Structure 1
Amino acid sequence: MATSHKRETARRTPRAAVLAGSLAALATTAVVTGGVLNSSAPESDLIAVDRSKAAAGSVGAAEQAGTRLPLLSRSTDRSADAIGSKLDAVLSDEATAQAIAGAQQRQWTDATLNLWTRPDKRAKQVGELEEGEKVLVTGRTFADRVEIVLDGKSRWVTAGHFTDEKPPTLGGACTNGTSVPSSVSESIKKVHEAVCANFPEVSVYGTLRGGGGDHPRGKAVDIMISGAVGWKIAEFVRANYSALGVSYVIYAQKIWSVERSGEGWRGMPNRGSATANHFDHVHVSVF
């Protein structure tokens, strides 16, 4: 008869279970670590980015200016006081004066931007920078902002809105003699004026016509053009959709709409001809 032992012994976990548990732990660690490294940290947790990660439009400016914001290492004290003091050092009168003096690159703005005294949450808004302005860029960046020089002073604006080429303007006179009927919507008139001012090579605009859709209502225009220029016009209208009141744009069998703007240009079914597929004109509909 077997003797009963009151003392219990630990059960041995099967080797497969141990291995599975280890893999799960590793996976969890990888996810957590990846989440920390890839997450968008609050602005107060960021000091600067390297020149290689500079915001769009400011690449190369830091190299020319010879200035660079310090990076935080993993071992750096990340307390609010430590980060604040480091940023204060970066924004000191001496460091800022050196950045302004070293600024060499001039770029155009492609949007209206708010002007800030600092790049962090302690910043005060001190005005706006109009679209189409050409300004000095120092190359110093912080989070999603980039430093510029305006009237000899350091100002910070949202990054990603600078270009080396002067962006087209919406205004200007239509000098090629084209026009649209007075009965079309005000937005269609704006589209014609803007496209005519920037692309005078377009000589034909189609608006009112029978059938369904937006044309009979005066809320659509066909800009008769093809090839690469057609794409430039389509992108120009898309980029200025808000100011022009645009609902959607069609060109070369692709459509872009405000409602699904996050999807970019989307392909369309083949309708059988160059005109039906919008290869010989840019179609613009407005709200």
Structure 2
Amino acid sequence: MSASAFAIGGVLSVTERAGADAQLVADPSAAISTSRGGYRKPNIVLPSAPAASEVTVTGATFVFHDDAADLYAMPDDTTEVVVVVAPDSKVGTTGETSNGFTQVVFADKVGWVKTDSLVTGRALSMSSCATGSGVETGLQPDTVRVYRAVCALFPQITGYGGRGGGGEHAAGRALDIMTKNLELGTAIANLVGQHWRELGVSQIIWQQHIWTAERSGDGWRPMESRGSDTANHKDHVHVTTFGNAGTL
């Protein structure tokens, strides 16, 4: 059974849902102004994308950092390109997918991007991190898997907590992924949870909620307050691993 998606209060407030450009999206002026798409057939009336107000945004993800993503009117790369979304941009997600496309909201526009243009739609990488392997010192193989998967897809994360202290950290079976950004941390927590078998993940804690492989059917469960933001895991995603059970 895969991990259920993490969500807090539906992720978005009513106000955020009402204004897609204010809810999860980057400044549209940062987007590339021309399409990367190929040939468009002339003299064809292309279907139009629905208004952002016609869909419900339930989560968020990010465009992969290596390239921009065309936002198509329909889940078909021969339809109108509504806008081009810049690399690393945040987009709202509706939970709808079709034929290798994912429906998203960006800059008050709704459309479809190719799923593999999103960080949550990419294959996991086990290549060494561009920022170096110092964090890997003393970590168990599964924990290294988590570190490499996250650093490849989320280069905006610059802080990690590896081996040290007590408990799972002392044994090299835990990794702290440092971020206070709710959408970014949630995207990371969901990615790790969705691939828990491949990565050898036994537990994830984020925003005072916990997910465990042992009780994966229960999804994300709330935790009692431990006091500070750090103790409640509001400034980092905590991942515990089995040690060497992953398949990647």
Question: How high is the TM-score relative to the length of structure 1?
Answer: 0.42
As a proportion of its length, which structure holds more helix? 1
Higher relative contact order (CA 8 A, sep 6+): 2
Larger gyration radius, structure 1 or structure 2? 1
